[in-house]
């Protein structure tokens, strides 16, 4: 069997050597065990080894994990098979690896026996990377096409070989088979088939993409759709295929159509609007609607050719221009304003306008509206006039009158203000009318207003109590009536009447009537009783002095007789007012006297009488005995009202030039509500031993003196009796007391 050494020095060796030296592939010769016999320069460069370093080593260029594979390849070669362009990895000196294409050939001896193996390695790393890049880019492209929302097809010879999902969807298909392999003309509207053929031929012939052209397609359901198409020829390996790029324009078409419709709608709206509409650009009207031209009395063309100055009232021109500038500079938007316009016939029209910034033919312009409010202004003016007329009419009427709108006061005349005790209109106007009605009467007042609003008839006069601005409660009568067209509204007009005086007069009358009846009675009775009473009293005293034993009974008889005498005495006062003796007397003197007389009784009842009587009071014209009787009655009542003791303050002062006021204030239980209105009636008493005549007599006497008596009492809070007496003329009083302010009760 030949050996490799036999081979050395032969022509083949020369040939091989030269081949190895010049080959750009790495060549390595190994013996059958894999030991390196020779390597070429390219191998050295590829692997980084020198020849000396590898000679004799076993397969140094094979990575350890591929040794088995290498062994297999060797077996193949030894068995006579060829290993050609086998792709594997080879190792460098520094341990790194590279992609290699390997061809292994046997070295044969003359007899055809294998004596060695020659491995040729080619570094294919670069080629592999390029391949990968290509694959990547293909993938990217495929994805791009696959997911493109635009329909894309690829055809060769009119046959569809690819279609992206968008195209499938576009044509109305479900599965790719519905398109693939079909003739593209199947999906073109017959009208456009020839056209497409022409375009395709031209593009392919010229190898140039076509323009974007409109084309009608036929969907699988045979419906026509509008599209745009671009044809892109692709030449690969001498074969020309074509890409068809479609664009769905049906949506755009509908959008265009709906835009057109909207435009028409707007145009129709503006043209028929019941308001003036205009477009203003570069100080000119570029559009006016029919309503506006009619409003101003011009034709539309006339209006658009006339300068703005002609339509806007001279005084308001600056205002309008200012608004226009501000709107154009976007400082304000949609800002309502009032302005006066001028018609063609030079008459004035009152306008309310709105203006906004818009674009017209690419330039900013103003879009505005005008509403003719001349009529509205006139009506408002007339309404205001009529309301003012009303007010002037009722302003100085002596009757208090208020006007209210749904319960809110909107006007009050002078007398009403006086009645409510205010001088400021705003104290009343703007407030609820019920604010001034006593809670007891509010329901009633509301009912009056409700009823009155139903008819044109005035309501009956009704008595209600009113709370004045200063808190005082007065008696009043009211009657209301519905008034139309007061500031454009239907309102309630109410007439009020202060009936406090009348009420008082009425009360007085009732009382004096009662008094006169009692008086007459008393006149008859008193006389009849006085005489037998005197005898009874005399004989009782006589009997008492004779019999010492039964003195208790006599004493009781005598007290009771004294009581009868007292009552009869009171009656006499009533019955004989004519007995009075008038003269000038001092109030303070009378009061001091009465206080000293009653002090004894007061002390017994644990009550202190505190006198705050001014010493500077003028004398008054009076019947001293009668007045003293009044003071006694009032102070006694005060003492009797305080069973647990307390203070009674008796004060007297002059409150103005004409009046002296005497106040008796106790800390008693007050007068029960039930009888407060009946005070002064005869025999009205809450006391076991009372006669119920004291107050009646007092009223009577005070009346005689042209004075007045007012009793103010709150349950459990004491009672204050205020007695006013006139200072006679010619005896003007002194300065009012500094604390006279709290004399009001």
Footprint of Mg ion (CB under 5 A): 637, 694
Q: Which is nearer to Mg ion, 115 or 721 (CB)?
A: 721
**Structure tokens, 417:** 């203000």
Considering the rule CB under 6 A, would residue 684 count as an interface residue with ligand ADP? yes
Q: Output the smallest distance, CB 720 to ligand ADP, in A.
A: 9
Q: Output the smallest distance, CB 473 to ligand ADP, in A.
A: 22
> 276 touches which of Mg ion, ligand ADP, none (CB within 5 to 8 A by kind)?
none
- Candidates 216, 223, 247, 215; CA nearest to 172 is 223
* Residues contacting residue 59 through CB under 8 Å, at least 6 positions apart: 30, 34, 36, 67, 70
Considering the rule CB under 6 A, would residue 685 count as an interface residue with ligand ADP? yes
Q: Which is nearer to ligand ADP, 225 or 638 (CB)?
A: 638
Considering the rule CB under 6 A, would residue 281 count as an interface residue with ligand ADP? no
Q: Output the smallest distance, CB 631 to ligand ADP, in A.
A: 12
- Is residue 89 within 8 Å of residue 70, measured between CB atoms? no
Considering the rule CB under 6 A, would residue 681 count as an interface residue with ligand ADP? no
Q: Which is nearer to ligand ADP, 494 or 691 (CB)?
A: 691
| List of E strands, 183-316 | 213-218, 224-236, 239-248, 276-281, 284-288
- From candidates 36, 522, 598, 671, binder to ligand ADP by CB under 6 A: 671
Considering the rule CB under 6 A, would residue 720 count as an interface residue with ligand ADP? no
Q: Which residues of 528-538 are buried (b: 16+ CB within 10 A; e: fewer)?
A: ebeeebeebbe
Q: Which is nearer to ligand ADP, 392 or 716 (CB)?
A: 716
CA–CA gap between residue 335 and residue 353 (Å, rounded): 8
- From candidates 91, 366, 641, 702, binder to ligand ADP by CB under 6 A: 641
> 732 touches which of Mg ion, ligand ADP, none (CB within 5 to 8 A by kind)?
none
Q: Single out the segment in contact with ligand ADP by CB under 6 A; choices: 76-84, 298-306, 386-394, 690-698.
A: 690-698
Q: Which is nearer to Mg ion, 637 or 654 (CB)?
A: 637
Tell me 630's DSSP state: H
CA–CA gap between residue 74 and residue 76 (Å, rounded): 5
Considering the rule CB under 6 A, would residue 719 count as an interface residue with ligand ADP? yes
Q: In 3-state terms, what secondary structure has residue 94?
A: coil
Q: In 3-state terms, what secondary structure has residue 689?
A: coil
Q: Output the smallest distance, CB 392 to Mg ion, in A.
A: 56
DSSP secondary structure string, 593-614?
A: HHHHHHHHHHHHTTEEEEEEE-
Q: Output the smallest distance, CB 529 to ligand ADP, in A.
A: 18
Q: Which is nearer to Mg ion, 323 or 591 (CB)?
A: 591
Considering the rule CB under 6 A, would residue 702 count as an interface residue with ligand ADP? no
Considering the rule CB under 6 A, would residue 686 count as an interface residue with ligand ADP? yes
Q: Which is nearer to Mg ion, 371 or 599 (CB)?
A: 599
* Residues contacting residue 651 through CB under 8 Å, at least 6 positions apart: 611, 612, 613, 662, 663, 665
Q: Single out the segment in contact with ligand ADP by CB under 6 A; choices: 221-229, 355-363, 577-585, 685-693.
A: 685-693
> 404 touches which of ligand ADP, Mg ion, none (CB within 5 to 8 A by kind)?
none
- Candidates 49, 10, 7, 3; CA nearest to 26 is 49
Q: Output the smallest distance, CB 553 to ligand ADP, in A.
A: 26
Site for ligand ADP in 649-668 (CB under 6 A): 666, 668
Q: Quick one: which H or E segment has residue 75? A: helix 67-78
Q: Output the smallest distance, CB 633 to ligand ADP, in A.
A: 6
CA–CA gap between residue 242 and residue 160 (Å, rounded): 9
Q: Which is nearer to ligand ADP, 36 or 695 (CB)?
A: 695
Q: Single out the segment in contact with ligand ADP by CB under 6 A; choices: 41-49, 262-270, 271-279, 633-641.
A: 633-641
Considering the rule CB under 6 A, would residue 692 count as an interface residue with ligand ADP? yes
Tell me the torsion sign for CA atoms 429, 434, 436, 437.
positive
Considering the rule CB under 6 A, would residue 646 count as an interface residue with ligand ADP? no
DSSP secondary structure string, 455-501?
A: SSSPPPPEEEEEE-TTS-EEEEEEEEEEEEEETTEEEEEEEEEE-HH
CA–CA gap between residue 287 and residue 351 (Å, rounded): 18
Q: Which is nearer to ligand ADP, 457 or 686 (CB)?
A: 686
Considering the rule CB under 6 A, would residue 694 count as an interface residue with ligand ADP? yes
Q: What angle do CA 280, 283, 289 make, to 5 degrees?
A: 30
Write out the residues near ligand ADP by the rule CB under 6 A.
633, 637-638, 641, 666, 668, 671, 679, 684-687, 690-696, 719
């Amino acid at each position: 069997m030949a050996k490799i050494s036999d081979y050395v020095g032969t022509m083949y060796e020369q040939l091989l050597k030269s081949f190895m030296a010049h080959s750009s592939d790495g060549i390595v010769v190994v013996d059958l065990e894999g030991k390196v016999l020779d390597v070429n320069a390219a191998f050295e460069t590829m692997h980084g080894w020198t020849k000396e370093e590898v000679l004799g080593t076993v397969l140094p260029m094979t990575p350890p994990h591929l040794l088995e594979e290498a062994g297999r390849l060797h077996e193949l070669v030894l068995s006579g098979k060829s290993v050609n362009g086998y792709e594997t990895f080879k190792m460098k000196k520094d341990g790194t690896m590279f992609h290699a294409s390997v061809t292994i050939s046997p070295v044969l001896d003359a007899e055809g026996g294998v004596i060695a193996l020659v491995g040729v390695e080619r570094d294919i790393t670069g080629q592999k990377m390029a391949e990968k890049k290509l694959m990547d880019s293909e993938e990217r492209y495929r994805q791009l096409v696959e997911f493109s929302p635009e329909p894309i097809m690829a055809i060769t010879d009119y046959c569809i070989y690819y279609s992206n999902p968008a195209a499938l969807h576009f044509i109305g298909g479900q599965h790719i088979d519905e398109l693939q392999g079909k003739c593209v003309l199947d999906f073109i509207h017959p009208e456009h088939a020839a056209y497409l053929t022409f375009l395709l031929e031209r593009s392919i012939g010229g190898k140039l993409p076509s323009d974007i052209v409109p084309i009608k397609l036929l969907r699988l359901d045979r419906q026509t759709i509008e599209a745009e198409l671009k044809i892109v020829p692709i030449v690969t390996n001498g074969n020309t295929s074509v890409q068809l790029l479609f664009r769905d324009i049906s949506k755009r078409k509908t959008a265009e159509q709906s835009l057109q419709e909207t435009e028409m709608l707007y145009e129709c709206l503006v043209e028929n609007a019941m308001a003036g509409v205009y477009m203003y650009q570069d100080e000119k009207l570029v559009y006016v609607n029919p309503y506006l031209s009619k409003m101003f009395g011009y034709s539309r063309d006339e209006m658009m050719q006339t300068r703005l100055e002609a339509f806007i009232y001279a005084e308001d021109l600056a205002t309008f221009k200012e608004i226009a500038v501000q709107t154009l500079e976007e400082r304000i938007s949609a800002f309502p304003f009032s302005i006066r316009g001028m018609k063609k016939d030079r008459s004035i029209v009152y306008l309310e306008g709105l203006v906004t910034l818009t674009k017209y033919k690419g330039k900013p312009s103003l879009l505005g509206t005008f509403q003719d409010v001349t009529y509205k202004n006139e009506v408002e003016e007339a309404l205001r006039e009529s309301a003012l007329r009303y007010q002037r009419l009722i302003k100085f009427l002596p009757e208090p009158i208020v006007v209210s709108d749904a319960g809110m006061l909107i006007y009050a005349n002078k007398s009403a203000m006086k009645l409510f005790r205010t001088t400021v209109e705003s104290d009343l106007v703007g407030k609820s009318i019920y604010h001034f009605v006593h809670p007891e009467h509010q329901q009633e007042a509301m009912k009056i207003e409700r009823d009155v609003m139903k008819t044109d008839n005035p309501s009956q006069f009704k008595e209600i109590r009113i709370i004045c601005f200063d808190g005082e409660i007065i008696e009043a009568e009211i009657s209301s009536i519905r008034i139309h067209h007061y500031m454009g509204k239907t309102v309630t007009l109410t007439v009020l009447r202060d009936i406090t005086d009348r009420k008082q007069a009425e009360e007085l009358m009732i009382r004096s009537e009662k008094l006169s009846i009692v008086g007459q009675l008393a006149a008859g009775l008193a006389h009849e009783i006085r005489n037998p009473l005197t005898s009874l009293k005399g004989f009782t005293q006589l009997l008492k002095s004779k019999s010492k034993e039964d003195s208790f009974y006599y004493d009781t008889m005598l007290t009771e007789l004294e009581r009868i005498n007292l009552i009869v005495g009171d009656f006499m006062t009533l019955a004989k007012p004519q007995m009075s003796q008038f003269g000038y007397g001092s109030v303070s003197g009378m009061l001091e006297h009465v206080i000293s007389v009653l002090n004894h009784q007061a002390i017994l009842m644990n009550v202190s009488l505190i006198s705050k009587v001014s010493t500077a009071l003028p004398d008054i014209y009076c019947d001293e005995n009668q007045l003293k009787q009044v003071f006694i009655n009032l102070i006694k009542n005060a003492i009797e009202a305080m069973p647990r003791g307390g203070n009674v303050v008796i004060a007297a002062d002059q409150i103005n030039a004409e009046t002296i006021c005497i106040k008796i204030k106790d800390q008693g239980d007050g007068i029960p509500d039930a009888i407060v209105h009946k005070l002064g009636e005869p025999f009205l008493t809450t006391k076991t031993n009372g006669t119920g005549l004291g107050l009646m007599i007092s009223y009577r006497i005070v009346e005689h003196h042209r004075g007045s008596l007012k009793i103010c009492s709150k349950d459990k809070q004491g009672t204050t009796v205020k007695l006013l007496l006139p200072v006679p003329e010619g005896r003007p009083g002194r300065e009012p007391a500094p604390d006279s302010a709290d004399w009001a009760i």
